[in-house]
Amino acid sequence: MTNAGANASGVCAASGGVQTGWNLKWVRVAAGAAGGSELANAGAWATSEPLVQDLKTSTARAMYNHNDTRNVWFHRYAGARGTAYSFLLPGQDDEVVAYHSSGGVAGNAGRSLCNPGDWLCDDLRLGTAPNQGGSVKWSWHSVVFRDDGERFNHYGDGNWAGVIGVVREAMVDTAN
Protein backbone atom coordinates (compact mmCIF):
# COMPACT_ATOMS: atom_id res chain seq x y z
CA MET A 1 0.00 0.00 0.00
CA THR A 2 1.22 3.49 -0.75
CA ASN A 3 -0.24 6.92 -0.68
CA ALA A 4 1.66 7.70 -3.90
CA GLY A 5 3.57 10.38 -2.03
CA ALA A 6 7.22 11.02 -1.39
CA ASN A 7 8.78 10.99 2.06
CA ALA A 8 10.72 13.90 3.52
CA SER A 9 13.74 13.01 1.39
CA GLY A 10 11.69 13.00 -1.77
CA VAL A 11 11.79 9.23 -2.18
CA CYS A 12 8.61 7.56 -3.41
CA ALA A 13 7.77 4.53 -1.30
CA ALA A 14 6.39 2.44 -4.15
CA SER A 15 8.94 3.00 -6.86
CA GLY A 16 12.01 4.17 -5.03
CA GLY A 17 12.20 7.09 -7.45
CA VAL A 18 13.18 10.50 -6.17
CA GLN A 19 10.90 13.49 -6.46
CA THR A 20 13.13 16.53 -6.65
CA GLY A 21 10.55 19.24 -7.09
CA TRP A 22 7.11 20.05 -8.30
CA ASN A 23 6.21 18.93 -11.77
CA LEU A 24 4.28 21.89 -13.10
CA LYS A 25 3.49 21.81 -16.79
CA TRP A 26 1.91 25.24 -16.82
CA VAL A 27 0.07 27.57 -14.49
CA ARG A 28 -3.14 29.49 -15.04
CA VAL A 29 -3.58 32.44 -12.71
CA ALA A 30 -6.96 34.02 -12.00
CA ALA A 31 -6.70 37.57 -10.68
CA GLY A 32 -3.26 36.85 -9.27
CA ALA A 33 -1.66 39.57 -7.17
CA ALA A 34 1.95 38.66 -7.94
CA GLY A 35 2.74 42.35 -8.24
CA GLY A 36 0.88 43.26 -5.06
CA SER A 37 -2.21 45.35 -4.48
CA GLU A 38 -2.55 49.03 -3.71
CA LEU A 39 -5.10 48.05 -1.08
CA ALA A 40 -2.17 46.73 0.94
CA ASN A 41 -0.26 49.95 0.24
CA ALA A 42 -3.09 51.93 1.75
CA GLY A 43 -3.41 49.74 4.82
CA ALA A 44 -6.92 48.71 3.83
CA TRP A 45 -6.58 45.25 5.35
CA ALA A 46 -5.54 43.93 8.77
CA THR A 47 -1.83 44.53 8.56
CA SER A 48 -0.53 42.19 11.22
CA GLU A 49 -0.84 39.29 8.78
CA PRO A 50 2.41 38.47 6.95
CA LEU A 51 0.47 37.77 3.76
CA VAL A 52 -1.03 41.24 3.76
CA GLN A 53 2.36 42.81 4.43
CA ASP A 54 3.76 40.90 1.47
CA LEU A 55 1.04 42.26 -0.79
CA LYS A 56 2.32 45.82 -0.61
CA THR A 57 3.29 46.47 -4.22
CA SER A 58 6.91 47.37 -3.53
CA THR A 59 7.33 44.33 -1.27
CA ALA A 60 5.58 41.82 -3.55
CA ARG A 61 7.76 42.89 -6.44
CA ALA A 62 11.01 42.78 -4.45
CA MET A 63 10.41 39.44 -2.77
CA TYR A 64 11.52 37.21 -5.60
CA ASN A 65 12.42 37.18 -9.27
CA HIS A 66 9.06 36.79 -10.98
CA ASN A 67 10.76 36.05 -14.30
CA ASP A 68 12.24 32.84 -12.94
CA THR A 69 9.63 30.15 -13.55
CA ARG A 70 12.08 27.47 -14.67
CA ASN A 71 10.68 28.05 -18.17
CA VAL A 72 7.15 27.09 -17.18
CA TRP A 73 4.41 29.32 -18.62
CA PHE A 74 2.08 31.35 -16.42
CA HIS A 75 -1.16 32.13 -18.26
CA ARG A 76 -2.78 35.11 -16.60
CA TYR A 77 -6.43 36.14 -16.44
CA ALA A 78 -7.22 39.73 -15.48
CA GLY A 79 -10.65 40.92 -14.39
CA ALA A 80 -11.88 44.50 -14.67
CA ARG A 81 -15.22 44.72 -12.88
CA GLY A 82 -13.90 46.84 -10.05
CA THR A 83 -15.86 49.66 -8.53
CA ALA A 84 -15.56 49.80 -4.76
CA TYR A 85 -11.86 50.61 -4.50
CA SER A 86 -11.19 52.24 -7.83
CA PHE A 87 -10.01 55.34 -6.01
CA LEU A 88 -7.10 53.33 -4.61
CA LEU A 89 -6.33 50.95 -7.48
CA PRO A 90 -4.63 52.40 -10.58
CA GLY A 91 -6.13 51.75 -14.00
CA GLN A 92 -8.46 48.80 -14.48
CA ASP A 93 -9.00 46.44 -11.56
CA ASP A 94 -11.18 43.59 -10.33
CA GLU A 95 -11.88 45.37 -7.04
CA VAL A 96 -8.78 43.96 -5.34
CA VAL A 97 -6.02 43.60 -7.93
CA ALA A 98 -5.11 46.11 -10.61
CA TYR A 99 -4.11 45.12 -14.15
CA HIS A 100 -0.39 45.72 -13.53
CA SER A 101 -0.49 42.89 -11.01
CA SER A 102 -3.05 40.48 -12.47
CA GLY A 103 -1.45 41.03 -15.89
CA GLY A 104 2.04 40.12 -14.68
CA VAL A 105 3.68 43.43 -15.55
CA ALA A 106 7.36 43.69 -14.60
CA GLY A 107 8.98 46.43 -12.55
CA ASN A 108 9.61 47.34 -8.93
CA ALA A 109 6.40 49.39 -8.67
CA GLY A 110 2.83 49.31 -9.91
CA ARG A 111 1.42 51.34 -12.76
CA SER A 112 -1.87 52.25 -14.39
CA LEU A 113 -3.04 49.96 -17.22
CA CYS A 114 -6.47 49.64 -18.79
CA ASN A 115 -8.59 48.07 -21.49
CA PRO A 116 -8.25 49.46 -25.02
CA GLY A 117 -10.27 52.58 -25.61
CA ASP A 118 -9.29 54.53 -22.52
CA TRP A 119 -7.37 57.48 -23.90
CA LEU A 120 -6.05 58.49 -20.53
CA CYS A 121 -4.50 55.16 -19.66
CA ASP A 122 -2.10 52.76 -21.36
CA ASP A 123 -3.52 49.46 -22.62
CA LEU A 124 -2.70 46.12 -21.06
CA ARG A 125 -1.94 44.06 -24.14
CA LEU A 126 -2.70 40.40 -24.63
CA GLY A 127 -0.12 37.66 -24.90
CA THR A 128 3.48 38.48 -24.15
CA ALA A 129 3.45 41.77 -26.04
CA PRO A 130 4.77 44.90 -24.37
CA ASN A 131 1.95 47.10 -23.12
CA GLN A 132 1.07 50.46 -24.53
CA GLY A 133 3.58 52.87 -23.06
CA GLY A 134 6.38 50.30 -23.19
CA SER A 135 6.01 48.36 -19.94
CA VAL A 136 6.70 44.65 -20.32
CA LYS A 137 5.46 41.51 -18.67
CA TRP A 138 7.53 39.15 -16.64
CA SER A 139 9.14 36.49 -18.77
CA TRP A 140 7.05 33.34 -19.14
CA HIS A 141 3.92 35.29 -18.27
CA SER A 142 1.23 35.74 -20.88
CA VAL A 143 -2.10 37.56 -20.57
CA VAL A 144 -4.64 35.23 -22.12
CA PHE A 145 -7.73 36.96 -20.82
CA ARG A 146 -8.34 40.68 -20.44
CA ASP A 147 -11.79 41.67 -19.28
CA ASP A 148 -12.70 44.12 -22.04
CA GLY A 149 -16.37 43.85 -21.11
CA GLU A 150 -15.66 44.67 -17.45
CA ARG A 151 -17.76 41.65 -16.45
CA PHE A 152 -15.57 39.83 -13.95
CA ASN A 153 -14.53 40.80 -10.44
CA HIS A 154 -12.10 39.22 -7.97
CA TYR A 155 -14.54 37.10 -6.03
CA GLY A 156 -15.41 33.44 -6.49
CA ASP A 157 -18.43 33.70 -4.20
CA GLY A 158 -18.10 29.99 -3.55
CA ASN A 159 -19.44 29.20 -6.98
CA TRP A 160 -16.65 29.82 -9.51
CA ALA A 161 -17.81 33.38 -10.04
CA GLY A 162 -15.66 36.31 -11.08
CA VAL A 163 -12.53 35.82 -13.15
CA ILE A 164 -11.97 32.48 -11.43
CA GLY A 165 -14.87 31.18 -13.50
CA VAL A 166 -13.07 32.12 -16.69
CA VAL A 167 -10.09 30.02 -15.66
CA ARG A 168 -12.34 27.13 -14.70
CA GLU A 169 -13.88 27.26 -18.15
CA ALA A 170 -10.46 27.10 -19.76
CA MET A 171 -9.44 24.22 -17.51
CA VAL A 172 -12.53 22.26 -18.50
CA ASP A 173 -11.75 22.84 -22.16
CA THR A 174 -8.20 21.64 -21.70
CA ALA A 175 -9.25 18.56 -19.78
CA ASN A 176 -11.75 17.49 -22.43
Distance of closest approach, residue 1 Cβ to another protein, in angstroms: 26
How far is it, in rounded angstroms, from Cα 93 to Cα 22?
Answer: 31
Tell me the closest approach of the beta carbon of residue 148 to another protein, in angstroms.
Answer: 11
What x/- string results for residues 147 through 176 when contact with another protein is judged by CB under 8 A? ------------------xx--xx--xx-x
Q: Closer CB to another protein, residue 3 or residue 48? A: 48
Contact 31, 96 (CB under 8 A): yes
Alpha helices in 14-129 (DSSP H): 38-41, 50-54, 57-62, 99-102
Of the ranges 1-9, 129-137, 154-162, which one interacts with another protein (CB under 8 A)? Answer: 129-137
Name the DSSP class of 124.
P
Query: Per CB under 8 A, does 12 bind another protein?
Result: no
State which residue, 13 or 59, has the beta carbon closest to another protein: 59
Alpha helices in 11-82 (DSSP H): 38-41, 50-54, 57-62
CA distances for 51 relative to 33, 55, 95, 142, 143, angstroms: 11, 6, 18, 25, 24
- Based on the shown chain and the rule CB under 8 A, indicate whether residue 138 belongs to the binding site for another protein: yes
Cβ(95)–Cβ(50) under 8 Å?
no
- Interface ranges with another protein (CB under 8 A): 20-21, 23, 25-26, 38, 41-44, 46-50, 53, 56-59, 61-62, 65-68, 70-71, 73, 75, 77, 87-88, 90, 106-110, 125-130, 136, 138-139, 142, 144-145, 165-166, 169-170, 173-174, 176
